[in-house]
């Protein structure tokens, strides 16, 4: 059964990303047994004029431009104009394997009650591939608890049913860790299936946001948002334990940055959550600059 899927590529459309962007587009066009519409959403002011013009001139693409440079905002805009029964996403530096969309659409055909089908994939670092979701064989046992252990939804991992994964899910996205929060929102009210088969490749790139201060500090906020969304006691407890670890990680990060005051603040917060006693010894590390002055 052939279906049409819109694949959304948010991109800054910079010259330095041209080769990766064209590879991403090509990987969509190579999909087997699926008709794929490609929607490129150029966002921000860093775009290369010649590359943008070249994309707009192609008849096999739809190109939208947004002045605000924000991938989550670009995804939300794209969702608002989807016309096909299914949609998916692909970062401009990643690629789909040839049967990526077909594998997930087959799951929809087998179970029409599904709202989101997610598949595993590879991380490629230095030319070597490793499986992305290590606990993939256990995800479907309890999909929310599995998400707390490790995020199973990356940007290119899911195919969404348009009529059930509405625009509302993409409003007010988290600035970082937006796919984790989106996945959790969906699991609260929708039916999700995880397929433990690699269907995409995520390529590691320099300057990862995960190393930035803003990313580190945002982690606790995302976990708090997840706590507010669920009424499952066991999930709340697991999330509170995760929040404890996140607050400790932030404290350690801030200490390494020399921000002792805020490091103390986050350390004290971490002690108030389940499992906080495990980080009591970190107090000595915080006191060290004064003890050995």
- Kindly write down the DSSP assignment for every residue of 70-88, as one continuous string: -HHHHHHHHHHT--SSEEE
Task: Please report the pLDDT score of residue 1 as a whole number.
Answer: 46
Which of 206, 239, 273 is at the close of a domain?
A: 206
In this structure, how many other beta carbons lie within 10 angstroms of the beta carbon of residue 264?
16
pTM of the entire predicted model: 0.92
Q: Measuring CA to CA, which residue among 170, 167, 160, 169 is closest to residue 114?
A: 160
Task: Please report the pLDDT score of residue 290 as a whole number.
Answer: 67
Q: 115 and 225, same structural domain? A: no
Number of domains in the chain: 2
Which of 178, 206, 234 is at the close of a domain?
A: 206
Whole-angstrom distance, CA of residue 151 vs CA of residue 139: 10
Where in the chain does DSSP place strands (E)?
4-11, 35-43, 62-66, 86-89, 95-96, 116-125, 128-131, 158-161, 192-203
Q: 226 and 100, same structural domain? A: no
Q: 21 and 105, same structural domain? A: yes
Q: 67 and 154, same structural domain? A: yes
First to last CA, the chain: 72
Task: Please report the pLDDT score of residue 2 as a whole number.
Answer: 61
Cα 132 → chain centroid = 12
Q: 241 and 190, same structural domain? A: no
- Domain range for 237 is 210-291
Q: 170 and 143, same structural domain? A: yes
Q: 217 and 139, same structural domain? A: no
Torsions phi, psi of 12, nearest 5?
Answer: -85, -10
Whole-angstrom distance, CA of residue 272 vs CA of residue 73: 35
Q: Measuring CA to CA, which residue among 291, 153, 169 is closest to residue 229?
A: 169
Q: 184 and 141, same structural domain? A: yes
The CATH number of residue 98's host domain is 3.90.550.10
Whole-angstrom distance, CA of residue 115 vs CA of residue 160: 6
- Tell me the pLDDT of the chain (293 aa) as tens digits: 468 999 999 999 999 999 999 999 999 999 999 999 999 999 999 999 999 999 999 999 999 999 999 999 999 999 999 999 999 999 999 999 999 999 999 999 999 999 999 999 999 998 899 999 999 999 999 999 999 999 999 999 999 999 999 999 998 888 889 999 999 999 999 999 999 999 999 997 654 445 578 888 899 999 999 999 999 999 999 999 999 999 999 999 999 999 999 999 999 999 999 999 999 999 988 987 766 55
Q: 179 and 36, same structural domain? A: yes
Task: Please report the pLDDT score of residue 8 as a whole number.
Answer: 98
Q: 22 and 91, same structural domain? A: yes
Which of 206, 228, 251 is at the close of a domain?
A: 206
Q: 170 and 27, same structural domain? A: yes
* Cβ-proximal residues to 277 (8 Å cutoff; 6+ apart), any chain: 271
Q: 24 and 91, same structural domain? A: yes
The residue with tokens 């009424």 is 231
* Cβ-proximal residues to 57 (8 Å cutoff; 6+ apart), any chain: none
């Amino acid at each position: 059964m052939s279906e049409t899927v819109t694949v959304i590529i948010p991109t800054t459309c910079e010259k330095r990303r041209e080769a990766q962007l064209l590879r991403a587009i090509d990987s969509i066009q190579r999909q087997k047994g699926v008709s794929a519409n490609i929607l490129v959403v150029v966002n921000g002011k860093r775009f290369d004029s010649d590359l943008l013009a070249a994309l707009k001139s192609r008849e096999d693409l739809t190109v939208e431009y947004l002045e605000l440079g924000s991938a989550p905002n670009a995804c939300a805009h794209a969702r608002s104009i989807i016309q096909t029964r299914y949609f998916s996403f692909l970062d401009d530096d990643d690629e789909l394997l040839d049967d990526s969309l077909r594998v997930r659409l087959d799951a929809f055909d087998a179970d029409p009650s599904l709202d989101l089908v997610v598949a595993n994939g590879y991380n490629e670092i230095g030319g070597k591939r490793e499986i992305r979701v290590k606990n993939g064989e256990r995800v479907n046992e309890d999909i929310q608890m599995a998400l707390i252990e490790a995020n199973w939804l990356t940007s290119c991992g899911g195919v969404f049913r348009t009529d059930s994964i509405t625009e509302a899910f993409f409003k007010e996205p988290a600035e970082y860790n937006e796919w984790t929060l989106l996945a959790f929102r969906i699991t609260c009210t929708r039916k999700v299936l995880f397929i433990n088969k690699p269907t995409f490749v995520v390529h590691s790139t320099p300057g990862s946001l995960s190393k930035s201060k803003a990313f580190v500090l945002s982690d606790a906020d995302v976990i708090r948002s997840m706590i507010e969304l669920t009424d499952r006691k066991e999930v709340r407890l697991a999330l509170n334990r995760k929040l404890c670890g996140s607050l400790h990680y932030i404290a350690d990060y801030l200490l390494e940055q020399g921000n002792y005051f805020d490091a103390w603040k986050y350390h004290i917060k971490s002690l108030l959550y389940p499992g906080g006693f495990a980080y009591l010894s970190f107090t000595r590390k915080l006191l060290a600059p004064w003890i050995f002055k």
